[in-house]
Amino acid sequence: MEGAAVQDQPAGTPDSMQRAWSVVSFSSVPFWLAMILAPRSRATAWLIERAAPLHAGLSVIYSIALVTAAAKADERVDFGSLASVSRAFQQPEAMLAGWTHYITFDLLVGSWIWRQALAEGRSARLSLLLTWWAGPMGTGLFAARRRLPGWLN
């Protein structure tokens, strides 16, 4: 089974990149599960209020991946071009940077949703689940529920 993880990697991807990918992918799971399954628990509040080291660690991984991707890039990325951005994300370091950005910001938005829902005395489980799995869908649902009283409450 040890070779299975390596087979899933793009050719030439170092094991350290795979480890970083795994850390990024799974580091936020306890936070999401706590916010979704036990939103009013003191343990959840304790955990969420201590997320700064996670965000700091993710920002270090992001920074290293982004700088490495930029140094290895054959061409400058034109963010106005889908084709150019797609080519950039073919590079494992760029993909790791993008994934880390996604995970970090979704968790930040999720913790904001969790805090707002607690302050407003409402449930945000579905919004949190969707934010975790599909970012803007959950954020949009939460925003709509706040503006349309009684909708999906």
For all residues of the chain together, what is the average pLDDT? 90
Structural domain including 77 reads 14-121
Task: Report which DSSP code applies to 10.
Answer: P
Q: pTM for the complete prediction?
A: 0.84
**How does residue 146 score in pLDDT terms, banded at 50, 70 and 90?**
confident
Residue 150, domain member (yes or no): no
Q: How many domains does the chain have?
A: 1
Residue 148, domain member (yes or no): no
CA 83-98-145 angle, 5° bins: 105
**How does residue 152 score in pLDDT terms, banded at 50, 70 and 90?**
low
Residue 51, domain member (yes or no): yes
Residue 102, domain member (yes or no): yes
**pLDDT, tens only, 34-76:** 999 999 999 999 999 999 999 999 999 999 999 999 999 989 9
66 in Cβ contact with 97 (< 8 Å): yes
Residue 133, domain member (yes or no): no
Residue 94, domain member (yes or no): yes
Distance of alpha carbon 115 from alpha carbon 36, whole angstroms: 12
Residue 137, domain member (yes or no): no
Give 44-51 contacts, CB < 8 A, sequence gap 24+.
44/114, 48/111, 48/114, 48/115, 51/107, 51/111
Residue 1, domain member (yes or no): no
